[in-house]
Amino acid sequence: MAKVILSMLRRRKGDGAAVLNGRQRMLLVAVVGMLLLCYLVVGPGQTIGEAAYRMTWLVLSGVALTIFYSVDHTRQELNWGRSALVTILICAQIGLFHAFNNIREILPWQVSYGQMLLALPYALAPGITSAMLGRRLGVFTSLCTSLFGLALLPADCPRMIAQDFFVISLLAGFVSALLCSRVHKREHILYAGFATGAVVLVSTIALGCFQDSGLAMLRGGFNPVSFFAEAVVAFGVSFLVSVFIGGFMPFLEGLFNISTHITWLEWADMNHPVLKKLQMTAPGTFHHSLYVQRLAEAAAEAIGADVTRAGVCGLYHDIGKLKNPQYFTENISNQAISPHHELTPEASARIIIQHVQDGVDIAREYKLNSRIIAAIREHHGTLSTYFFYRKALDRYKEEKAKFDAGSIDTCPDEVDKAVFSYKGPVPQTRESGIVSMADAVESATRSLVNPTEEDIREMVEKIFRDRILDGHLQDCQITLGDIEKMKESFLTTLRTMNHNRIAYPKPEPDLNTTPAEAPPTPAESSAAP
């Protein structure tokens, strides 16, 4: 149902581009969510004045949050799905706040407002948003739920309790957003839930010290039983919320096509079927991809890009070579018997270029992330397969000279560079740009024979200079300062990857010993148990 609604909301131009940008979509979906909250706030038992006050509070808070988000300088890719996810999570948490208050009124025993503050699921929306969309949106979601939650507090709720709710909701939401954004394993979500429960308990106790209607343990002296019960409620609710987050996130990832940091780490597992198949079918390409991963991760860390995404994209960027591994140089053990010798330059170029589309098809078959698919499609941009293009030009010149000399009767057709060019587009994200440069640098430096550090530096400088002049990096938000950092990062990584070993001298034969008694070579010594 959610996918159907999202597809109905999509309006597209003739060229396929969306009419609204990310922030406009966020605003539109937020307005719909605001209307739903207003409907929820206006209950049958409220007077016109109470309803008007709450709706005014919601609208003014929404305007303030819109301004706050507009001045935020984050570059979030907010499509319809992500915008809808944030709005649905906010509405869901507000609905739970409202439901908890209704449950409090029908319970057979009396529950104070101070005790109710312990049982609210403050971390639900901020935790999921932070884990799936980043820390900044998690903090933004926490601010939304805190402000909108005030509008749902009952009319008889004391002002002090309302203030306490706002403070506790902000603190718990901020802590949840901070900790869930650093989640590398699903069990880390449980640690975040434990920390959020501790924040709720401590802040509720601290705020209860300054009012008469606070926790039971502070009314009439310290009561260990009440304290234990209230601590169980605070930690228990946060634990249940964290369990729900960890179990529900995979469903949300599939529904909204969003990948968390945990999923990216799972894709980096060498036991993934695609990587295992690449290792067995195209070992040269596999080892090339490992080097690209290492270069991309180091460069991403140097310029502040996403290290995990850059590394994973580097691992998968050449999986299209699984279709025809024997036509790629890293998988050809003897270049003298290369299958390209029997093909025309145009045919060879088509096979080489086709690995990009083959990679996209394989990635879609295994349901890899859209960012990985984009990196596969963009890592060559619109560059040309220069080796075969140059070969075709040389052949054209030879045949043209023969035609001019009268040796042949047919004038050869001019070389069409489009046949030898990748379809693109050029890299659109920082991680994709990093992978494309790491791929070029690794391939070029591998072709050098016994390179010195100066040879490698000159090669790296030439590659970056050519790519900049070609406009290859113009759309991926990589600045000139980033480029200098990437160069140094590549040089440092290549220096460690291509370090020279000590040349061991060959042992001189001892005429007084038999061959069986000859001393072992260094390689034999190191291989001995």
Whether 9 shows a pLDDT value over 50: the answer reads no
Statement: residue 499 has pLDDT above 80? no
Cα–Cα distance between 127 and 416 in angstroms, integer? 54
Spatial CA neighbour of 419 closest among 453, 386, 444: 386
Angle, vertex CA 151, rays to CA 148 and CA 153, nearest 5: 115
Average pLDDT, the chain: 80
User: In angstroms, rounded to a whole number, what is the distance separating the alpha carbons of residues 344 and 415?
Assistant: 12
pLDDT tens-digit readout, 149-194 = 877 777 777 778 888 888 899 899 999 988 988 777 778 888 999 9
Model confidence band, residue 73 (pLDDT cutoffs 50, 70, 90):
very low
> Residue 101 contacts by C-beta under 8 Å, 6 or more apart in sequence?
116, 152, 153, 154
- What average pLDDT does range 196-215 have in this prediction? 73
Question: Residue 378 has what pLDDT?
Answer: 95
288 within 8 A of 443, measured Cβ to Cβ: yes
| Residues in CB range of 377: below 8 A, 6 or more apart | 356, 359, 360, 424, 425
Q: What is the mean pLDDT of residues 285-310?
A: 95
Greatest mean pLDDT range, 33-47, 55-69, 301-315: 301-315
Could you tell me the pLDDT band of residue 280, with boundaries at 50, 70 and 90? very high
Please spell the DSSP secondary structure of 406-470, one letter per residue.
TS-SSPPPPP-GGGGB-------SHHHHHHHHHHHHHHHHHTSSS--HHHHHHHHHHHHHHHHHT
What Å distances lie between residue 337 and 17, 355, 443, 448, CA to CA? 47, 21, 20, 21
For 309-336, what is the mean pLDDT? Answer: 92
71 pLDDT above the threshold of 60? no
Backbone phi and psi for residue 490, each to the nearest 5 degrees, phi listed first: -60, -45
Q: pLDDT confidence of 290, banded at 50, 70, 90?
A: very high
Q: Taking residues 184-207, report their average pLDDT.
A: 86
Q: What is the mean pLDDT of residues 41-67?
A: 61
Inform me whether the pLDDT recorded for 214 exceeds 50: no
pLDDT of residue 119 exceeding 80, the answer is: yes
pLDDT above 90 for 128: yes
User: Residue 184's pLDDT is what?
Assistant: 76
Topology of domain 264-385+421-497, per CATH? Hypothetical protein af1432 (1.10.3210)
Predicted local confidence at residue 203, as pLDDT: 86
Tens-digit pLDDT profile for residues 449-496:
888 889 999 999 999 999 999 999 999 989 999 999 999 999 999 988
What pLDDT does 326 receive?
93
Tell me the average pLDDT across 297-303.
95
- Model confidence pLDDT, tens digit, residues 381-422: 999 999 999 999 999 999 989 888 888 888 888 999 999 999
Q: Minimal CA–CA distance to 394: which of 344, 466, 448?
A: 344
Q: Which pLDDT does position 102 carry in this prediction?
A: 76
Instruction: Report percent pLDDT > 90 for the chain.
Output: 40
Quote the pLDDT of residue 525: 38
d(CA 290, CA 288): 5
* pTM of the predicted model over 0.85: no
Q: Where does CATH 1.10.3210.10 sit in the chain? A: 264-385+421-497
The pLDDT value given to residue 448 = 86
Count the neighbouring beta carbons within 10 Å of the beta carbon of residue 6. Answer: 17
pLDDT level of residue 60 (50, 70, 90 thresholds): low
Q: What is the spatial distance between Cα 333 and Cα 412, in angstroms, rounded to a whole number?
A: 34
Q: Give the pLDDT confidence score for residue 336 in this predicted structure.
A: 77
DSSP H/E element including 241: helix 224-256
Mean pLDDT of the 216-228 span: 63
